[in-house]
A and B are shown apart, each in its own frame.
Chain A
């Protein structure tokens, strides 16, 4: 686990409960064996990324992308988009007009 004992540790212990909570947030159903392996593997990885604590980032602005990148704007002109048939072509369930999903107001849903 994290070796930083002073103040707040960067990497708190990653418990099984945390793994299950993150899986719920990520909408991932995990097998029991995956819960176990991810708990230990993610602990290892998070422990490693704790090295960033050693980087002095005082006053450094975060950057979200590559160097010297500028957003490129285009004219806001209408163009053709996918036809309905094309848009539905990869859907696992559809009725020719709409994507079909299970009832969204199911009271058992979270």
Chain B
């Protein structure tokens, strides 16, 4: 029987051949959610009845011989940061608990038009701020590989849902690694597209110069398929690029000739877990065996990336989150004295600690007297980081690195130490500061069985190259075929 543990391409074939139906596939996903999600915590809302009805309608249209969209009955899970008409959208925050948006995000419209079955909304760090999904107001997400460890974040629910076979595909968002790092912790493929490749209309804003929406999948082909659906020019997002969208899947089987892979030796120093180091070195060896040239590159300003990011992102967040005023939507305190006190108490009661911390940090960095020393300085360093990449990509096609310094970390290990949590973002945040596309793909396991990802970065709008390079590694290693024991048990 077809299950969401199989690849999206296999499932689409089975749907086309009549070996399975969207209804059966959707029911299988719902069964897995019912069996395992109490333990994993991937979903904040499961849209069972509407999903089954949508699946049945797609099956009827298929039977009637009507043309179907690219996703033709595949269940897709959507991070709870994207507005879904008729389904709650909470951003894992008490601030938006119970809010049902009156409109769909652009990517959600795209999914519906592609005949995806929207199965539910996935857990995340509150307002996408965090690296473990422990900042969710509604409980953490655990990696299906090790239930005492975090799924990563902030898109932990989407990554875990795909890893556990609760949905063959999922959508996340990535502001500083929030797609790539949970993909690594959960052993799936996650792609952050170029800034501007995918519309952010209906994506609840965190840091608007960094946020980007992207796909999760069990394999590279699924990520390519979902990106074809998500990527599009949308006039409602002024930063959304009017660039043609390639048929990403068409080139996947074709290896890249004379691929030049860049390695920055600074990425392999103190603080990098031994198993991660070995897995990434092994992945580089795979490329070497396939005939790629491996080049050392310099990213001299990479050491400033975390500091730069943790000024830029909180500054933008403090401005974006000013909209939660207890008036237009969201929570309002029951107990206040006048208008300003209503703002202060509503925000103080409904935001969690990490969100408040970042609003404070950003407000401070933007405040009179500190603007030049913090925000302006960070904007200048951001340019230097971008120039490093422009220079590096004159001599290489992709850059390979770890995704995170460690495999999935035990729950609770960093929650009380925000700075240490931020420092673990060191490999992923530069791609957001520069606006580059980045991908995480399965590249092995730690000695104790936690998945490890390999990150590949490419120049802007080179998602095709990124996916082709990833497919070369995937064909050679087949790491992506391993599944967490828990997911195997249930079928």
Determine if chain A interacts with chain B: yes
A residues sitting closer than 8 Å to B (CB atoms) are 10, 14, 18-19, 22-31, 34, 37-38, 41-42, 44-46, 48-55, 57, 60-74, 82, 86-87, 89-93, 99, 101-104, 106, 108-110
Q: Is B344 a contact of A109 with CB atoms below 8 Å?
A: no
Having A28-B348, A72-B233, one finds 12 other A-B pairs with CB under 8 Å, namely: A23-B360, A25-B363, A29-B348, A41-B418, A45-B422, A52-B304, A87-B102, A91-B328, A92-B331, A99-B328, A103-B339, A106-B339
Q: What is the CA–CA distance of A64 and B195 in the complex, to the nearest angstrom?
A: 13
Q: Is A63 a contact of B386 with CB atoms below 8 Å?
A: yes
Chain A residues with CB under 8 Å of B157's CB are: none
Chain A residues with CB under 8 Å of B308's CB are: 52
B384 within 8 A of A: yes
In the complex, the chain B residue whose C-beta lies closest to that of A58 is B380
B residues sitting closer than 8 Å to A (CB atoms) are 99-103, 194-196, 209-210, 233, 235, 238-242, 301, 303-304, 306-308, 310-311, 318, 322, 325-332, 336-345, 347-349, 351, 353, 356-357, 359-361, 363-364, 367, 373-374, 376-384, 386, 389-390, 418-419, 422, 433-436, 460
Q: What is the CA–CA distance of A18 and B361 in the complex, to the nearest angstrom?
A: 12
Q: What is the CA–CA distance of A46 and B194 in the complex, to the nearest angstrom?
A: 30
Shortest Cβ distance from residue A33 to the other chain B in the assembled complex, whole angstroms: 10
Q: Is B344 a contact of A28 with CB atoms below 8 Å?
A: yes
Q: What is the CA–CA distance of A79 and B436 in the complex, to the nearest angstrom?
A: 33
Q: Is B384 a contact of A60 with CB atoms below 8 Å?
A: yes
Per CB-CB distance, the 5 closest pairs between chain A and chain B, nearest first, are A66-B435, A29-B348, A90-B329, A62-B379, A86-B102
In the complex, the chain A residue whose C-beta lies closest to that of B99 is A90
Chain A residues with CB under 8 Å of B331's CB are: 92
In the complex, the chain A residue whose C-beta lies closest to that of B363 is A26
Shortest Cβ distance from residue B458 to the other chain A in the assembled complex, whole angstroms: 12
Chain B residues with CB under 8 Å of A14's CB are: 364
Q: Is B357 a contact of A29 with CB atoms below 8 Å?
A: no
Q: What is the CA–CA distance of A74 and B419 in the complex, to the nearest angstrom?
A: 42
In the complex, the chain A residue whose C-beta lies closest to that of B351 is A28
Shortest Cβ distance from residue B19 to the other chain A in the assembled complex, whole angstroms: 42
Shortest Cβ distance from residue A100 to the other chain B in the assembled complex, whole angstroms: 8
In the complex, the chain A residue whose C-beta lies closest to that of B309 is A49
Q: What is the CA–CA distance of A77 and B209 in the complex, to the nearest angstrom?
A: 26
Q: Is B307 a contact of A29 with CB atoms below 8 Å?
A: no
Given A48-B307, A86-B103, A91-B327, are A61 and B380 neighbors across the interface (CB < 8 Å)? yes
